[in-house]
Copies of this chain bind each other. A is one copy, B any other.
Amino acid sequence: MPQYSDIDRLAIRTVRVLSVDQVASANSGHPGAPLGLAPAAHVVWKQLRLNPSNPNWINRDRFVLSNGHACALLYSLLHLTGYDFTLDDLKHFRQLNSKTPGHPEYGLPGIELTTGPLGQGISNAVGLAIAQANFAATYNKPNFTISDSYTFAFLGDGCLQEGVSSEACSLAGHLQLGNLIAIYDDNQISIDGDTAVSFTEDVLKRYEAYGWEVLTVEKGDDDLDSFSEALEKAKANKEKPTLIKVKTIIGYGSLQQGTGAVHGTALKPDDVKQLKKKFGFDPEKSFVVPQEVYDLFKRDITDPGKKLNEEWDRLFEQYQKDYPDLGKELARRLNGDLPPNWDEKLPTYKPTDSALATRKLSQAVLEKINFELPELIGGSADLTPSTLTRWEHAIDFQPPSTGLGDYSGRYIRYGVREHGMGAIMNGIAAFGANYRPFGGTFLNFVSYGAGAVRLAALSGYPVIWVATHDSIGLGEDGPTHQPIETLTHFRALPNIQVWRPADGNEVSAAYKMSIESKHTPSIIALTRQNVPQLEGSSITKACKGGYIIHDVEDPDVILVSTGSEVSLCVETAKKLAESVTNKRKVRVVSLPDFHTFNRQSKEYQLSMLPDGVPILSVEVAATLGWGNYSHAHFGIDRFGVSCKGTGAFKFFDFVPEGLAKRVEKVIEFYEGRKLYSPLNRPPL
C-alpha cells in the first residue's frame, strides 16, 4: 500500500488551487467538485498506468470523469502528468476553441470520453470495461498479457440518478466486470441543494443488488490511506465491479464549502484568496505549480508509465513473432485499419433475387462480415429474434462462470436497456483497437437512447445502431412502436449517418459506409417487411447517399424516397409510364442517407434533383425536413395505426394508386410554374 508524503498533500492542494484558478479565470465553471475530489483523484492517478507521450497506448488504464462538469480537476491532472496541456491552456478554460472547454471532449490528449451529460460517463465506462475484457480474452496468451488495464470512473449524485447509469450498471454487475471501479463522490449536494430533497435511496444497497462490490471511505477529504486501501481491494476483486463511496465536502476549502453555492459558480475573489492562503499558496498569484509537484508526478506516474509502455512494446514485438496471425490482426487493429478488401464479403443482389425484409438482409451482412472483422462486437436490447443481429454460432459475451458464453464472445445481451446500450457502445468504441460496436433495437426505441446517440455524433464514436421495424410497416404493434419523427430527428443531428436502405445492395452500402467511418456513428433503419431487390441499385451508387434508381428522359415529376417506399415509387413510375389514360414520365431518386448525399458536390446533387421539375418526396414518416430536398411531400404527419403492415400502408394510401394520385396532383399544381430545385440555394 502506498504511503503518502507531504509532497502528495502539496500536490492535492496544488490541484485544488489550480482548478479554482481555472474557474476564476473564466468566471464560469464548477469549482465545488474539483475541490472535494482532489484527494481521491490524486490517489487514483498515482496508481494509473498511462503514458502521456503515447496517450493511445492500448494497455493504459482508463480514467473517466463522469461528472464532466468537474473538468478543471481533469485538466489540472493532465497538465501535471505531462499531457499536452500547458498552463496557458488552463488559463484559457472555457474560452473559444481552447483545449479546456466547459466539459471534457473526446479527442483532446488524455481525455478518454466526452462527458458532462450526466449518467453517460459511467455508462461509457461499462463499455470500456466490456471492451477490455473482450480484448484481453481475444489476445492474451500465456506469458503475453496484452491487456490487463482497469477502468476508473468518477461520478456524482447526478450520474447515479440518471436512468442510463442504472441500465449500464445493472448489466455491468451481471457481466461481473472486475476491471471496472467507480468512485462515487458522495457530497450530499446537487443543484437544487441538499440531495435530501430528491435522492434518499440507499445507493450502495442498490449497487449490491446489481452484483457490485461496494466500499465506503468515510473521510474522503484527507484520509488518503483509507481510500488507497479501498482502491486496492477493488482492484483485487476480479469477479465484480466495485463502487467506492467517498464522502467528501463539496468546495472543500471555500468559505461556502458544503453548500450548493460552490457547485456551478466561480468562487468570489476574496474566497479564492483565503482558500489559497489556507492551502499555503500566495493569494496574489495564480496558476502556480511547485516544482516538487511536477517532480512527484514525473517520478510516480509519468516515468513508470512510460517504462511500462516500453515493456509492453517489447512484449508485443515478441507476440507478433510467436503468434504471427493474431499479431498481424492486432497490429492492424491498433493501427485503425480494416482488413484489406473486407468489403468484398458484402452480399450483392440482382433484381431476380428474392424479396426480403431489410432486417433479414442486414443479418446476411453480419453473417458474411463477422468473421472478417473481429472488431465487430454487438448485440440487441432484448430483441435478438426481431432485430436479427446475431450471426450463427456467435458466442455470447458472458462471464464464463455462467456457462452462457465467455469474454471472447462478441454478442452482447443488452437486456431491455436501449440508452445503456447506446452509452456502452460509445465506451466500446472509445476503447480503441478499432472496435466497431453495433446494437439492435426498433427504430422507434433508438429515441430512448437519444442522449447516447448525440454523444456518439459529438465525439465521433463509430457505433452502429441496427434499427429495425422502421415504419408503420411493422404493423400490429401499432402507433406506440411506429416511428414518425425519428428519421427527421437524427437527420438533423450533425456528424451521423442515417441510412434507410431500399434493398439488399443498399443494405450492404449502409454497412460499408458505417464500418468504414472512423469518426461518425450510424443508424441503419431496416424494415420488418419484405422489399424487392431493385433494378439499378448498387453498393457503389448507394454509397453516394443518393442516386437515380429509375430514370426517364425529360421527367414530368421526380420522386425522391427512401427505404421501403423506393420500390413503391419505382412500381408506380412504371405503371404511369405504361398508363394509357394517364401516361407520366417519372424519375425516381433513392436517398438512403441525407448526410452522405449532402457531402456530394452541388453538381451531383442537382443532377439528381434539378431545376425545372416538380420534386415529390415519398416516405411513410414526418414530412418535416423534406422541404430541403423536395417541393411537395407525401408523408405521415400523425401517429400510426395498429393493424397488419400492408393494411397500414393502404390506410395511409402508400400504394401505387395512392401515389399515382399524388403524382397527378403535384403535376397539376405546379403546371406552368418555373420551378427551382430546393437544393439550388446559396451556401450560407
Residues of A within 8 A of B (CB): 26, 28-29, 68, 94-98, 101-103, 105, 114-119, 157-159, 161-167, 170-171, 173-174, 190-192, 196-203, 205-206, 208-211, 260, 380, 382-386, 396, 398, 402, 404, 413-420, 444-445, 447-448, 450-451, 454-455, 457-458, 475-481, 484-485, 488-495, 594, 622-629, 631-634, 637-639, 641-644, 647-648, 651, 662, 665-666, 668-670, 673-676, 678, 681-682, 684
Contacts and interface: CB of A to CB of B under 8 A. Distances in A.
A170 B162 contact: no
Contacts of A26: 476
7 A-B pairs with the lowest CB-CB distances in the bound complex, closest first: A163-B163, A627-B627, A627-B628, A101-B642, A198-B415, A166-B166, A102-B478
A221 to B, nearest CB: 24
B458 A454 contact: no
23 contacts: A96-B647, A102-B480, A102-B642, A118-B416, A162-B416, A162-B448, A174-B199, A190-B416, A192-B380, A201-B210, A202-B209, A447-B454, A484-B494, A485-B490, A485-B494, A488-B488, A492-B622, A495-B639, A624-B628, A628-B633, A632-B682, A666-B684, A668-B682
A468 B447 CA distance: 21
Q: How many monomers of this chain does the complex have?
A: 2
Q: Which of A29, A417, A492 has the most CB of B within 10 A?
A: A492
Nearest to A158: B416
Given A162-B417, A190-B382, A480 B103 contact: yes
A386 B669 CA distance: 49
Contacts of A479: 101, 105, 458
A74 to B, nearest CB: 14
A385 B197 contact: no
Contact of A384 (B101, B192, B488, B678): B192
Contact of A419 (B163, B205, B670): B163
Contacts of A629: 627
Of A420, A448, A594, most buried by chain B (CB within 10 Å of CB) is A448
B199 A494 contact: no
A623 B628 contact: yes
Nearest to A162: B416
Given A198-B414, A454-B447, A484 B493 contact: yes
